[in-house]
Structure 1
Amino acid sequence: MTPQVMAQIHARSMTVPKPWSARTMQDFMRAPGTILVSRQAANGQLGGFALGRIVVDEGELLTLAVDPGTQGNGLGRDCLAGFLEACQSAGAARVFLEVAATNRIARNLYTSAGFTEDGVRKGYYQIPNEAPVDAILMTRSVE
């Protein structure tokens, strides 16, 4: 899995926030405490990934992306489960994330995985020529 392939999947699956570049992916992958969990699609290609980090005793899910052509087959759920397991193994007590208020599919996934909505960042995602989108803050324990 390369940062370029990850950026391609991110671009195909994200509108809010703005998709990340291969350079951004690479920078996160090189940072200390990074956790990257990926899953293959039925065709053997990269189908999705979860990218985050451990900071002291917390895990932060930075992004979770599933190629639109493979969505609905449990890859996102598998990536998230793998990420949570990795956070627990690394000693995290809890995991947090931000998700666009308009991303109902992701919010449902996170809720079904035990995350609770803990706050809102009003107008967090700025989109050219569109109204700002709120970020929903979510957390869950992994102890």
Structure 2
Amino acid sequence: MEITIDIEDPMPLFTQLVEQIKSAVINSKIKPGDSLPSIRQLANDLELNSKTVAKAYKLLERDLVIQSKGYRGTFVHPHAIVNSKVDLNAEVLAQLNNAISACKTAGVTDSEIRIAFSSAMNSNNN
């Protein structure tokens, strides 16, 4: 599996990494059960901050594309192929669009929606 990061790309570096690993899974360049480099090793190989790689790995683990087995390492999840095809961002965007449409139908202004969204985000971060 070859990963290339483009620092000129407006897409965040961790997102580039997530997308490339998912693509490698979908295209069978890496298979369920295969081991992945450690966060430190991949960060060194790609000349990235280890926190960037850790964030990508955390998202991939959340999406059940990879799984950490403690000191034994990180591996491609048994259901990674199916899980790599799920786009949580698209799902969240669809839900937000539905909520915004419902608010606008009820006569809520864009400004009120923004304020409510910000308030909801702040109350859920605590």
TM-score range, shorter chain: 0.3 to 0.5
Greater per-residue strand proportion:
1
When you count helix as a share of all residues, which structure comes out higher? 2
TM-score normalized by structure 1? 0.35
Structure scoring higher RCO (CA < 8 A, sep ≥ 6) equals: 2
